[in-house]
Amino acid sequence: MWRSAARRTAQIRRLLSSSAPPAGAGAAVPGPCIVHKRGNDILHDPWYNKDTAFPMTERDRLGLRGLLPPRVMSFEQQYERFINSYRSLEHNTRGEPDSIVALAKWRILNRLHDRNETLYYRVLIDNIKDFAPIIYTPTVGLVCENYSGLFRRPRGMYFSAKDKGEMMSMIYNWPADKVDMIVVTDGSRILGLGDLGVQGIGIPIGKLDVYVAAAGINPQKVLPIMLDVGTNNEKLLEDKLYLGLRQPRLEGEEYLAVVDEFMEAVHARWPKAVVQFEDFQMKWAFETLQRYRNRFCMFNDDVQGTAGVALAGLLGAVRAQGRPLQDFTNQKIVVVGAGSAGIGVLSMAKQAMLRMPGIHRTGEGHNQFWVLDKDGLITKARKGLDPAVARFARGYGPDEIPDLPEGASLVEVVKKVKPHVLLGLSGVGGIFNEEVLKAMKESDSPRPAVFAMSNPTTKAECTPEDVFKHVGENAIFASGSPFGNVSLGNGKTGFANQANNMYLFPGIGLGALLSGARHISDGMLQAAAECLASYITDNEIRKGILFPEVSSIRHITARVGAAVVRAAVAEDLAEGCCDVGPRELGSMTESERVDYVARKMWYPIYSPLVSDK
């Protein structure tokens, strides 16, 4: 499997490696269009605005002459100018506190986003490794925390509890005729920062920026949405500047009625749009997923996207030990955090184990997992367990090996279990402390793996420095937010992998869209995870590299998207899209499908705004 995957990877990398402009850029560029706006309306429309790069013909014919300085700049000059001002901002803020620098960087990017989308997305795509930490985790967390103060102009749509009965008409207030991709949150669990109410809108905005950069979704066709059903965050309720509803969160049927109405409105206007649920607290994450997944083309990124990324990492950890993949069924995995993400990971990992040869011996009862939440190890003795969590509860008492009591502490569990993998999705920064990591050194694995997946950086369970220092140089590390690699001396590097659902959600969304999937099945998600797992070569894995560089995110997304399309067609869920039907999608070879997906990606270049005919 891995050899053919490596061959495929090489082929795809060749196919996609001419990066500027990438494969498909030409094909996705719309032909000359006549814009119906004129003058300042064009300059103030970030989609059409070219700032100083409007050629004279367009200045004449669109009423722009005199509204701009006379010199016509090229796109390349504008690009360079922006990058230079970004670099001088970096230089000038050296020594300032991290949060001040991060917010200053976010502001300069946000201003460009507001002004000129073409230039914004080009700098984002070309510099995604540098800019992802600003528009996405960790800075997006800081932006959400300060959103009411930072607010200057709206982006996306806001549906509040006060809009009950109005949503079907409100949805038509959105100016774009076509929307392909929606990311919606209710702000109830923003990263590991808790309930941020309406301020959580920063997350859908950041996720959709990643969609444009990674999946080439046309930014005119994305829609970030906030469902404001109130907040239980006392600090925000008391904050005079807070921009959301100042009321406690709706609960029960009242809550679901708002989400139902919203989903119906979206579906009525854009029946083929893919809806990604993001950062909902656990109870609503699971409830809405069950409620909508067979009715709409939707998925929950925290439950399902995260699961696929973690599974790819877990399989990588098996390969790093030089073991065959089937050995996954013997891996001992300690998961810290039994929330939407933790349970999503456990469910997908368990499904993957059950598919592996030999496992039928033990079947459903096979439990290679030890799961802890805020009350310690979860065992069958725990009262009132959510059924989704109960599946992973350990037995307890002398029959259980090792013998661990209900509520056992993390360090006790790690010492006794000696796990191959310690995976954190707890939202508790630093919980993998020195004692825990030193216990991980006694792991039964020759390459103990520590995944500190909580976001943002302050909530990471540990740092790569901690891991390579306390667990050892042969350890493997991955985190949800980016960290730098660690120099281990003697020219050796300890790799800080980023295990973030950004490696999968863009491909899941794009694949669902291009296949015209009626809904998003487990098979499609599994195909996405397997594709990501096979992206990394054995040589990289040996070095401790489990995930690709963020800079290759478009290549990865093209492959993941193609895998999702293939699975949708195979399961007869595909209805096709853009004149390409399911039969045609199904008859493509794997590399043709990847090529097709890559060609459908939007790429930012200035299009002519007047026809020269």
Ligand X SMILES: NC(=O)c1ccc[n+]([C@@H]2O[C@H](COP(=O)([O-])OP(=O)(O)OC[C@H]3O[C@@H](n4cnc5c(N)ncnc54)[C@H](O)[C@@H]3O)[C@@H](O)[C@H]2O)c1
Structure tokens at 76: 């390349």
> Which residues, 317 to 356, sit near ligand X by CB under 6 A?
336-342
Count of alpha carbons within 13 angstroms of residue 385, beta-carbon side: 23
Q: Does position 244 bind ligand X by CB under 6 A?
A: no
Residue of the chain from 279, 461, 530, 540 that contacts Mg ion (CB under 5 A): 279
Q: Does position 540 bind ligand LMR by CB under 6 A?
A: no
Residue of the chain from 145, 195, 301, 540 that contacts ligand LMR (CB under 6 A): 301
Beta strands in 490-576 (DSSP E): 492-494, 496-498
> Do residues 315 and 356 lie in contact, with contact meaning Cβ atoms separated by under 8 Å?
no
Structure tokens at 94: 């050296």
Distances in Å between the Cα of 613 and the Cα atoms of 30, 31, 179 are: 16, 12, 30
Residue 499 binds which one of ligand LMR, ligand X, Mg ion, none, with CB within 5 to 8 A depending on kind?
Answer: ligand X
The radius of gyration of the chain's CA atoms, rounded to the nearest angstrom, is: 24
Structure tokens at 163: 């809009």
> Do residues 213 and 128 lie in contact, with contact meaning Cβ atoms separated by under 8 Å?
yes
Decide whether 228 or 373 has the Cβ nearer to ligand X: 373
Q: Give the contacts of 39 (CB within 8 A, at least 6 positions apart).
A: 62, 63, 64, 67
Q: Let me know how many helices (H) and strands (E) the chain has, helices first.
A: 27, 14
Q: Does position 180 bind Mg ion by CB under 5 A?
A: no
Q: Does position 139 bind ligand LMR by CB under 6 A?
A: no
Residue 340 binds which one of ligand X, Mg ion, ligand LMR, none, with CB within 5 to 8 A depending on kind?
Answer: ligand X
Structure tokens at 428: 């508790």
Q: Does position 500 bind ligand LMR by CB under 6 A?
A: yes
Decide whether 180 or 302 has the Cβ nearer to Mg ion: 302
350 a catalytic residue: no
Residue of the chain from 137, 185, 288, 304 that contacts ligand LMR (CB under 6 A): 137
Q: Does position 206 bind ligand X by CB under 6 A?
A: no
Binding residue numbers:
189, 278-279, 302, 455, 500
Decide whether 136 or 159 has the Cβ nearer to ligand LMR: 136
Instruction: Report in angstroms how near the CB of residue 371 gets to ligand X at its nearest.
Output: 9
**Helical axes 75-92 vs 98-115, angle rounded to 10°:** 160
Binding residue numbers for (S)-malate:
189, 455, 500
Decide whether 504 or 569 has the Cβ nearer to ligand X: 504
Catalytic residue among 136, 242, 255, 503: 136
Q: Does position 300 bind ligand LMR by CB under 6 A?
A: no
With b for 16 or more beta-carbon neighbours within 10 A and e for fewer, the 121-132 pattern comes to bbbbbbebebbb
Angle at 260 between CA 255 and CA 262, to 5 degrees: 100
SS3 477: strand
Please name the residue that has the structure tokens 């004149």.
579
Residue of the chain from 306, 321, 379, 534 that contacts ligand X (CB under 6 A): 306
Catalytic residue among 105, 207, 221, 415: 207
136 a catalytic residue: yes
Active site residues: 136, 207
Using CB under 6 A, list all residues that contact ligand X.
189, 191-192, 282, 302, 306, 309, 336-342, 372-374, 425-428, 431, 453-455, 459, 480, 499-501
